[in-house]
Structure formats: C-alpha cells, structure tokens
Amino acid sequence: MPSVSMTVNGKQVGGEVESRTLLVEFLRNQLGLTGTHVGCDTSQCGCCVVHVDGRSVKACTMLAVQAAGSQVTTIEGLARNGQLHPVQAAFREHHGLQCGFCTPGMIMSAVDLLQHNANPTEAEVREWLEGNLCRCTGYHNIVKAIMAAAADMSGHAKAAE
C-alpha cells in the first residue's frame, strides 16, 4: 500500500492507504476528523467539502494520494485558538443550520468564496452554493449568515487598514 503524508489542520500527518482510498475516507477513518460528512457519495451534495491548498474540494471526489504533500483544512481546523472563524460564528448566530449535516461543507465552501470575493452579492453567494445541498433550512439563513460574515470580515479588514 502506498504511504501518504500531508499537512492537515496545521499538523503533519501520514499513513498507509490503499491507492483507491478517498480523501474523505482518510480524513474520517484514519484521522478521526468526522466533521467532514459523507452525504451522497458521488460529489454532488457538498457535505464533504474541505480545503486543499486553500481551495474548496469535495473530499469524496479526490483520492488521498492526490492530496499528498498538500495543506488540507477541514472544519475542525477552521477555528483558531478557540476563536470561531467569522463564517462559523455567523452560521451559528444567524441560524444557518438545522440538522447540521450539510453545515461543515457549507461553511468550507463559503470560506473559499470569501477568500476570492470578499464582498459577494446575494446572487453570487447563491450561485456559489449550488454545489452544496441543504434539505432543512431553505438556504434563507445560510445566505444571510454568509452575507453577515462577509460584512464582518471586510469591516475587520478595513479596521486593520
């Protein structure tokens, strides 16, 4: 079996995996990072979105060996020093969740959006989220949360200038 090593949530990790092992299986089964969920097994629902080298990726559509040498961030690695990422805080405060199953993927997608489009319009948020399904909320509060997080983050950015 090939061995693989990568950086996950800032920590160097490695292990032997079958070459067919998906990144999501490696994260969940070998590293115990179960915040990344499996919803549809077929790269459509977006529950398994993580960041690989800073970009959002559906972890069920990528092999673990393809992520070798990469920097991977999962939902567990988003908060820093016990402080929620602004997008996490906004999802919590604006009720952008119900059953919570889609939430980690939704947040990871949203964080990626805000990384390259700090002030998206509502329409841009909606279009970006087309690869993330939610069956509970009707997306209303999810979009609200992301807009609020964008405002919060650009406010902080301005204050820092």
Partner 1 sequence: MSERIVGGVHEARVHDSAHKHVTGAAVYVDDIPEPARTVQVHIGQSARAHARLVRMDLDAVRRAPGVVAVLTAADIPGVNDLSAVHAHDEPVFAVDKVMFAGQALFAVAAETRLQARRAAALAVVEYADLPPVLDTDTARAAGDLVWPIGRMQRGDAPAALARAPRRLQGRMTIGGQEHFYLEGMVALAVPGEDGDVLVHCSTQHPSEGQLLIAQVLGVPSHAVTVECRRMGGAFGGKETHANLFAAVAALVARATGRPAKCRLDRDDDMIMTGKRHDFTIDYEVGFDETGVIKAVAMDFASRCGWSADLSGPVNDRALFHADNCYFYENVRLACFPCRTNMVSATAFRGFGGPQGVVAAERVIEEVAFALGLDPLDVRKRNFYGRAERNLTPYHQAIEDNIIHELVEELERTSNYRARRDEIRAWNRTSRWQRRGLALTPVKFGISFTMTAYNQAGALLHVYRDGSIQLNHGGTEMGQGLYVKVAQVVAEELQVDIDRIRLTATNTSKVPNTSATAASSGSDLNGMAAQAAARTIKERLTAFAAARAQASAEEVVWLPGRIRVKGEEILFDKLVHDAYFARIQLSATGFYATPKIHWSREEGRGRPFYYYAYGAACSEVTVDTLTGEHRVDRVDILHDVGRSLNPAIDLGQVEGGFIQGMGWLTMEELWWDADGRLRTHAPSTYKIPCASDRPPVFNVRLMEGVANREPTIHRSKAVGEPPLMLAISVLHAISDAVASIADHKLPPRLDPPATPEKVLAAIERLRASDSGGAP
What span, in angstroms and rounded, lies between the C-alpha atoms of 86 and 81?
13
Contact with partner 1 (CB under 8 A) among 4, 22, 59, 88:
88
Asked whether position 73 contacts partner 1 by CB under 8 A, the answer is no
Retrieve residue 99's tokens: 């059953």
Burial of 64 (0-12, 13-18, 19+ CB in 10 A): buried
- Determine if 16 is a binding residue for partner 1 (CB under 8 A): no
Q: Does 31 bind partner 1 (CB under 8 A)?
A: no
What is the Cα–Cα distance from 9 to 20, expressed in whole angstroms?
23
Per CB under 8 A, does 71 bind partner 1? no
| 24 backbone φψ class: left, alpha, beta (φ>0; ψ -120 to 50) | alpha
User: Does residue 104 touch partner 1 according to CB under 8 A?
Assistant: yes
Residue 147 Cβ vs partner 1, minimum distance, rounded to whole Å: 12
Q: Which of 49, 73, 111, 137 binds partner 1 (CB under 8 A)?
A: 137
CA–CA separation, 36 and 121 (whole Å): 27
Binding residues for partner 1 (CB under 8 A): 28, 32-42, 44-45, 47, 74-76, 78-79, 84, 88-89, 91-93, 95, 97-104, 107, 122-123, 125-130, 132-143
